[in-house]
Structure 1
Amino acid sequence: KWLRDVYILECRLCLREVFEEVECSGNNDGLVSDAHGLPEIGSLNHMGAVSPQLTRDEVIKHLEDLEYYEKVSLAFLVCDEINYILQQLLTAERARCLGSVTPVPILSEWLRCQRHGSWENKIVEALSIIQNYQVLEQLGYDAESVKTRFLPRSPETSLFVNCMRKAIYHMCESLDKKKLVELTRRVKNDYDKLYKGEALEVYDEEFMEINILNWSIKGYINLGDRNGRGVDIHKLKTVLKGMDELTVLDNLESSEKATVNASVGYRDLETSSTVSETSMSSRSSIMGSLSTRSERSLVSQHSVASAASQVRKPQHWREYDVDPHYVGCCLIINQKNFYQDQNLQYKHVLPDEELETRLGTDMDRERLIETFESMGFDTITKEDLTHSEMLDSVNEVLRDDFKQEHSCFVLCIMSHGVKGEVYGSNSVPVSEEDLKEVIRNNRKLRGKPKILIIQACQGKAHQDVLSHDDISSDGPEIRGVSADFITFWSTVPGYASFRHEIQGTWFIQALCRIFLGERFTDNVVTLFTQVNGDVSCQRTVIRGACKTMVSQFQSTLVGELNLPLRSEKQLDVSLRMFQRHMFIALLWQYIESRKIAAEKRRKLKLEQLLDNLM
């Protein structure tokens, strides 16, 4: 009773700490939706220019050959999601400072996530802004035509790159090292005064864009949202004015006005049309697909404001309705213990070796219950089901527990697996497609989002750190078209998934940490992308080699799915979380005390044995 009173008191006093410090400690940044700050406007072909057919592999090869400072600048210009790109740059910066021979890929992952037709223009414009015309010519572009089209030196002009980022890049280029150091010092002093008790980190001024992104993350400035709105550089302008950098200040103000005009024009369009949202595969972003009505006008005016006024948003975008009283139903199948089915008809599908007990999976089960109940889901758990019982259980839950009023269905399976399949407790595999077929056939789920989360290996290999080509080239086979589905595997095909025998799996830990942590969005696709980033940052050493893993999701959602945390549910969940963590802490203390006692008994027996021998 005393311990329970302590739990309740702690939960009521420290609800935020329970979520953020106990369960969600660590780095929450990740790959996130990386949409353009302003509308996408077709392709270079639509602007009357001869556009080479770019391939991702070709562009990645050229980008990886760039100088480090060029990679930093290019990433700053093209990657709209600040949390993601700052994480990538800081990782690369740490590796550089440690003298790493193998450079950290900065743009490769971002580029692989982009929809075809959405990234080519950004890359070309950004390369013109940093004045690397050699790479542009190697890609088949005429340097003079690119200059004429994009006007890379103009502060108020930008077609595909965020106009404010372009202006800030030029600010960094125009100030010498001494002035950049002075600017950083003044901003830090101003920030430390405004936010007492929190010191602003300072990074190498040679790569000033990293400092700029950090200022934005900290809230000192705002580079604007994906639609070019919300730009706020007032404090930065005040510092520049104090440094008497009036020319730089004028350029920033010109760019700021262009961005404001663009965001106003874009906002006006929203009253008569809606955004298009396209579902993407693993580590993908959601990008609006917009068309132009007058490309010639767009080229001649060369302004972000005019670009925004030329686009019309398609009308098939929507957001899934989520009833806060009937958020959804979540079925969790936890496969811990296994045996080999003796039925001869299954002999050919049984694994070569007996499947081991999945220690640590109970921790994952509890985390998933806490996570989905915090979002208002009704959760149902099933333990150690055979392959046929797995399919039957999904059918039963959809028939008996999933109500017509429910907005969403989630199926979580934790088991051993091979590529595209998970094992039942009888060591007989069930394919992902069979599971999806059962869900697809339920009439109550028509038009509603369906989430399939699978924690299982898809092979035996371990992923080497930085082997991005191997990881990204072996995507899972899509065997059918099914709308409103999103499938999330703990690892890519052909590779193993890591599991701690007490703490649970990397994947489920990351998933729950991101969903229960301090969110900047409730968008499920964005949160899943963050999970990818979190998982891919983890490391372990196997036989002297550093290994990692990469989770992967595929989406056929036709709208935006938002699943916010429900405050009325969080108190009960936080109580259980606190109890669980207290239990683990006490268990570890008990284990340590038993080990110490056993060691004392061993020494005592040894001493007695020696005394007898004497």
Structure 2
Amino acid sequence: MNSVISNIDAIDINAVAELQHCLDLSDITSLVFLLYDAPHTALERLTLLHRVSEVHSRNMDLLCDWARLSQTRNSWKYELLEALSICQLFGAIKKLGFNVDEVKRHFLPHNVHVTHYINPMKKLLYKICENIQMENLLKLKKTLVTFDIDVQEYETCELIFLKLIVEEFIMIGSWKTECKIQEQCNMKNLTNIFRNLQGLMKFALELQEAENYLNNGPKPLDVTAKVVEPQKLKLNHTNYIDFKQIDELFQNLSINEELNESSLKLKSDSSKLHQESYPIIKKSRLGICYIINQEEFYSSKESIAKNIKQPEDRKGTEKDEIKLSKIMKLYNFEVVVDRNLNHQQIPRKIKDVIKNDVLEEDSIFIFCILSHGIEGCVFGADSVPVPIKTIWDILDSDAASKLHGKPKVLIIQACQESHQPRSEFVADGLDKPFHSLTYTPKSDFLTYWATAPELSAYRCEKEGSIFIQMLCFRVHQLGKEEQLCDIFTKVNEDVIVISKSSNYIQVPSVTSTLRRKLYLHLPV
């Protein structure tokens, strides 16, 4: 301590100017975040600094400007030294002529509860900035947008936190050199977000403990009482099933044989078959296959309010998307793909596809959604559930008149475990009466769920989901010969046998209001 005090006069404006030119953009950002008292000024100047080129940034003396304005405080040199210590800029400390070990012992940079001159909540927020992974930072940005806080332009965590302080989304208190908080901290908004985002519960606990300490003094924190885990939905069933074993299972199921049209023996004659089946209007284009692939999830204002924790990302789902797209194109479907849609975008995008992509001469409409789910619902990327009924209603509405009387196939890769309360979300504009006298509502639907109610649907991170992979295999193998419902029955058997062999239970489920047989290719 005596050494630190005796050398403190080594810090002056010239030393700060020389030091500033030895620091990179990241270091300057961290120091400004810790040192500037006015968050508006810090955010404004750092935003400009990040926008300009490296050459021009050299002319922005953010540290020198702070030092000049802070000289009226006797503590400004200690503030700088503590900030350098917190940022672990030990080379800079040594350059200023200080013993690094003595500075570390004095300021304890690794202890977030000990500060002398820097606001302790800022110290904790900086530590979070240093430890948060980029993947989680991107999710945090998406979550904040749902709170009407636009942080998309900010590339660093420090700038995002400054924005939250400016917007009074969080309040870090006013720290004085007497080591007292002059204003109460309020970090509840950020704490709630962290405890709902995957992998950030540690930060939530640290923020809450620090807030409790700064507002009320050093009291033991009852973690059980204070921080309640959001309801853990069993949404991430990524099971490491060895897909190399599937070839052997295929042989046991007798599904490896290559079938061709000559091997098909239909009991019905061709004319009767065509009368009993949905017509294929144009063989060169059967219709639209619309795929929504939900791989990445984040918390949102609504999911946090509903106490729904962010599901884990669905690694491996791109394999399902690729296979589905390939198979559907082979059967002359126009494939449209959207990814990572929130709960409001899902119904909106379905309407857009029906309006802009579906043609009058289309014979079939296929909708595939790959997501997490609970009974009767699938999840938007913002962790908010969307009822499947909402999707049915869109496809059954007057706005979807081009699909009236035509088969509509829904393929749903998602868990269907029970959960209460149910989401109350419904799509806009679905309460209009049906004006068509020639169309029977609720008819011509074929819905294929990856699993039955109260059960899970399983996925391999390397190969994709059992359900989608087996569905694509069977459609590719039998789609030119058998009606779709019969193919689905075979997929049911495949999935049940494969999941059972891996000690899981998954039972696909079909609901149908079809009026005729449905073929992807009418046998000749």
Shorter chain as normaliser: what TM range?
Answer: 0.3 to 0.5
TM norm structure 1: 0.38
* TM-score of the pair, normalised by structure 2: 0.44
Higher relative contact order (CA 8 A, sep 6+): 1
Higher Rg of the two aligned structures: 2
